[in-house]
Amino acid sequence: MAINDVYRAVLDFEEDSIAALIEKELAEGVEPGQLLQEGLIAAMDAVGKAFSEGEIFVPEMLMAAQTMKLGLDVLNPRLGDKDAQSRGVIVIGTVKGDLHDIGKNLVGMMLEGGGFEVHDLGIDVSPEAFVEGVKKYQPVILGLSALLTTTMPVMEETVKALKAAGLEQVKIMIGGAPVTRDFAEKIGADGFSADAPAAVELARSLSR
C-alpha cells in the first residue's frame, strides 16, 4: 500500500526521500488528509510508543520527527482548513536569567514531531519578550522552561505579564527539572509535565 511507504519512510528516517514520496502519492490522487493521518501522524504515534518503551533513543526519535516535519512541509499547503486547524501553534522559551535549553529544545522538537507548529524564542527570554512572541504568533499554548530555582519566579512574572497584556486565552504549560505540578498550580499555569513525551500529551489535551 502506498500510504504505507510514507509511514515507513518516517520510521526509517528517510529525510531525503520523504518529500518526493509524498509528491508521488499526491500526483496519484491520494487525499492529503489521509496521507497526514495514516502516514505521518500514525508513524509518529508508533515512534512515540517505541520511544516510551525504550526501544528507540532520543536522537532517533528526533530524526523521525524531522522526517515527519519535511513531509508536513509538502502537505501543509494542500491541506483543507479542517486539517490545518488540528495543527496547534506553540511558542516556547527558557525564562529570563536562565540559559539551560537542552530540555526545552527536546520538548520543542517532540512537539513538532507531534504535529504542532513550534516557535522557539530561545533562552533568557523576558516576560515582555514572551508577551511580544504571543502577540506575534498567536499560539494556543505557551511553553516555559526553567532549570534554576532562582529563575522559577520569572515563570510567575511571565504568567502575570500575559494576563496584564490581556492574553489570558493562551494556555501556559511549564517544565524543567526543579519545576513541580504544585508550583504550576500556584502560579496559575495550565499544565506541567516532567518530560518530553508527557509534554506532547499535555499539549494535545490543552489544545483540544
Binding site for other proteins (CB under 8 A): 54, 57-59, 99, 102-103, 106, 149-150, 153, 177-178, 195-196
C-alpha to C-alpha distance for 133 and 121, rounded to whole angstroms: 7
C-alpha to C-alpha distance for 11 and 47, rounded to whole angstroms: 7
CB 94 to ligand B12: min, Å: 8
Query: By C-beta, is 8 or 49 nearer to ligand B12?
Result: 49
Query: By C-beta, is 53 or 81 nearer to other proteins?
Result: 53
- Which ranges in the chain belong to alpha helices (H)? 2-11, 18-27, 32-34, 42-52, 58-75, 81-85, 102-113, 127-137, 152-164, 181-187, 196-207
Picked from ligand B12, other proteins, none, the partner binding residue 98 (CB below 5 to 8 A depending on kind) is ligand B12
CB 188 to ligand B12: min, Å: 15
What the block records as the C-alpha cell of 56 is 528507540
- Nearest CA to 185 among 176, 172, 199? 172
CB 58 to ligand B12: min, Å: 8
Query: By C-beta, is 28 or 53 nearer to other proteins?
Result: 53
Picked from other proteins, ligand B12, none, the partner binding residue 173 (CB below 5 to 8 A depending on kind) is ligand B12
